[in-house]
Chains A and B, each alone.
Chain A
Amino acid sequence: MEQELQSQNFPQEVSRCGTNSVDAVLDELESAGAPELLTRAGPGGLRGSLQALLRMREFSVLSATILLFIALSLATPLFPQLDNILLVARQISILAIIATGVTFLFISGEIDLSIGSIYGFLGIVLASLIAKFGFNPWFALLVVIVLGAAIGFVNGTVTTRVGIPSFIVTLGMLSILRGGALLASGGWPVMIKLPRDDPFLNITSGHVAGLVPTQVFWMIGIMVIGGFVLSKTRFGSHVYATGGNQEAAILAGINTKWVKTINFMITGALCGVAAALLLGQHRNAFPLTGTGYELDIIAAVVIGGTPLFGGAGSILGTFLGAAVLGMITNGLVLLGASAYFEPVAKGSIIVAAILVDTLIRKRRV
C-alpha cells in the first residue's frame, strides 16, 4: 500500500498550482518511515521525578507549606510541637472538608458562595432536629446531609438548566439560607443536650487515643475519598473535562449539566457533615456560624492551585492550601500578633499564591 501511494503519478497540469512540491515533501516524509517511538512518560530516574515534581500544579503550594512550617518553627518553639500541630489539624478540618466539595465545583468551572450559609443553616437544622424534635443524632445527621445535597441540587439545577451564572445563584442562596438560619432559630443559639459520653459527641469531636482529634480523621477520610474519585474514576475525569472545555465534553457525550449539579450536591452534603462536626464540638448551633466562611474556603482551594475558571486542580492542593491558612492563623496567635492582623496576612497570602503560580505558569509555557 505504501508503494502504491508513492508510485502514484500526478498529472502535469497539477504542477501549475504547485502541488508537486508539497507531494515531494509528503513522499519524503513517508519514505522516512514512522517517527521515533512514543515514550510512555517523561524521563525516568531521579531527574525524571524531579521534573515531575516541578511540573506538579501543587508545587508552589507545597513549597509555601514547607517554608511557612520552617519559618514558624524558627520563630517560635511552640509551633512544631505535636499538640500544636494536632490543634492546627483540627482547626482546618471543617474548612478542608467543605473545601473538598468546592474543589470539585471549581474544577468543573462553577463556584458556590453559599457554602458558609449552608453550613450555618444545616447546623441550626441539625441542632433543632435533635433538641426540639428528639431525633436520633445519627438520623438527624443523615437528614442534614440529604438536605445539604438537596440545596446543592437547587443551586446546580438553577445554574445549569436555567442558565443563571452560579456566582449569582449561590449569592442569592447565601442570603436566603442565612435568613433561614435566623428564622429557624429566632436568632438564638440552639443547644443540644446529650450526655457527655454520647457516641455522637465522641465520634464527631472526640479524640482517638486521647490525642488525635476525630475531626482530623473525618478530614483525612473525606479528602482521600475525594482525591480518589477525582483522579481515578470516570466521574473525576468528566469533572476535569467539563471545566476544561465544556463544549468538547458535551461533544464527547459527557452530561456536563449533571456533572456540575452533582458537584453542587457533594458540596452541600459536605456542609452537612461539617455542621455536625462543629455541633459535636460546641453542642450549640449559632445562627451566624459560617458568616464569611466562604472566603476562607475559596482561599484554601485557590491557594491550593485550583484555578477559578476550572479544568485543573487537586484535593492534595486544597489540603495544602487549608494547611497554609491554618498555620498562618495559629502562627500569628503564637507570635502574639494582633488578631486584627490575621485577615491582612491571609489576604496577602492569597494574592502571593496566585502571583507565584501565574509567574511559574508563564515561564513553563
Chain B
Amino acid sequence: MEQSAVPTGTSPTTAEATGERLIPLVELRGISKSFGHVQALQRVDFCVFPGEVVGLVGDNGAGKSTLIKIISGAYQPDSGVILIDGKPVTFHSPRDAMMMGIATVYQNLALVDQRDVAANIFLGREPTKGIVIDRRRMVEESVQVLQQLRSDIPSVEVPVGLLSGGQRQAVAIARAVHQAAARLVIMDEPVAALGIEESRKVLRLIKQLKAQGRAVIVISHNLEHVFSVADRIVVLRRGRLAGVRRREDTNAAEIVRLIVGAEHL
C-alpha cells in the first residue's frame, strides 16, 4: 500500500488502490478479545473499504470467526476501537451493526425451509398494510433484490426447502442485502457445503455485490475461491495479524506461508 494512487473518481472498485485517501467503511484498531485464558485476538488492525472484497483466511482457531463476530456486533472487544466511516462506534448487538449497514450471512443460513423465498427474505420484518401483510410488496421487492444479485431462483413463491444449496445461499444473501440496505456483507464459509457449480454461483454473487458498490468480507478455507473474488487478503494466525496482501501482489504459496507461519516451512 505504499504507492499513492490518484483517486480515479467514483468507482468503488478502485477503493483499495486509493486506500490512504479514502475513509474505510469499517476500520478496527488494536482489537483484542479473550475468552477466559484464551487470547482469541491480540491488537488486530483491520479495514475494509467501500466496494472492496476482503478475503479473511487463517487456520482453525486463528481468530477469523471472533473478528467477524466483533464486526457484526455479536461480540464486544475487550480493547480497541471500531470506526465506521471514520467515526468510532460501539455495537451492543447484531442489531446495532445492522443499523449501520452491516449484514451477516450465517453459516447455517438461518432459513425457514417450509416458507417461500419472499417470506424468508422478509423474515421478521414483514411489511403490512393495516394489519394485513403486504404480500405484493414482499414479492416485488424480493424479485427486485434477487434480480440485482442475478440469482437464478425460478420463483419467489417456492418454499426455500426445495431450492439447491447455492440458491439457498442467494436467498440468505438477498435477505442480508435487503435487510440492512447492506453496505457491508459478511459471509462465513459461504461455499463450505456446496458443490463446484453451486460454489461458482455464490462467488458470482459476491462479485455482483461488489459491482453494486457493497463491501464484502469472506471467510474461506479455499484459497482458490479467495483468489478469485478478493481484492485483498487478510491473514490471521493465532489471534494476530499475520499479513495483508493485495491479490495482485501475492500468490497462494505466500498466503499459505503466512497462514502456517514461515518458521514451519
B143 engages A245 (CB within 8 Å): no
A311 engages B155 (CB within 8 Å): no
Q: Does A362 contact B (CB under 8 A)?
A: no
Known A-B contacts A26-B204, A251-B106; A240 and B115 likewise in contact (beta carbons under 8 Å): yes
Q: Does A16 contact B (CB under 8 A)?
A: yes
Q: Does B131 contact A (CB under 8 A)?
A: yes
Q: Does A198 contact B (CB under 8 A)?
A: no
Using a Cβ–Cβ cut-off of 8 Å, how many residues does chain B contribute to the interface with A? Answer: 54
Residues in chain B near residue A46, CB distance under 8 A: none
B206 and chain A: residue at smallest CB distance: A26
Within 8 A of A (CB), among B211-265: 211, 223-225, 227-228, 247-253
Known A-B contacts A26-B207, A30-B204; A312 and B106 likewise in contact (beta carbons under 8 Å): no
A2, A253, A312: most-surrounded residue (chain B CB, <10 A): A253
Residues in chain A near residue B23, CB distance under 8 A: none
Q: In angstroms, how far is the closest chain B Cβ from the Cβ of A132? A: 40
Residues in chain B near residue A26, CB distance under 8 A: 200, 203-204, 207, 228
B114 engages A312 (CB within 8 Å): yes
Q: A1's contact among B11, B95, B161, by CB below 8 Å, is which?
A: B11
B139 engages A40 (CB within 8 Å): yes
Q: How far is the CA of A165 from the CA of B142 in the complex (A)?
A: 36
Q: Does B132 contact A (CB under 8 A)?
A: yes
Known A-B contacts A252-B125, A253-B95; A42 and B155 likewise in contact (beta carbons under 8 Å): yes
Known A-B contacts A5-B13, A17-B224; A38 and B156 likewise in contact (beta carbons under 8 Å): yes
A311 engages B114 (CB within 8 Å): yes
Q: How far is the CA of A248 from the CA of B122 in the complex (A)?
A: 12
A17 engages B13 (CB within 8 Å): no
Using a Cβ–Cβ cut-off of 8 Å, how many residues does chain A contribute to the interface with B? Answer: 45
Q: A35's contact among B113, B115, B151, B161, by CB below 8 Å, is which?
A: B151
A16 engages B252 (CB within 8 Å): yes
Q: A16's contact among B110, B126, B161, B253, by CB below 8 Å, is which?
A: B253
Interface string of A6-50 (1 = CB under 8 A from B): 000011011011110011011001100011011111100000000
Given contacts A22-B200, A29-B201, A254-B123, 18 further A-B contacts (CB under 8 A): A5-B207, A5-B210, A10-B248, A11-B248, A17-B224, A23-B228, A26-B203, A26-B228, A34-B150, A35-B150, A42-B157, A237-B119, A240-B112, A241-B115, A247-B108, A247-B110, A254-B124, A311-B115
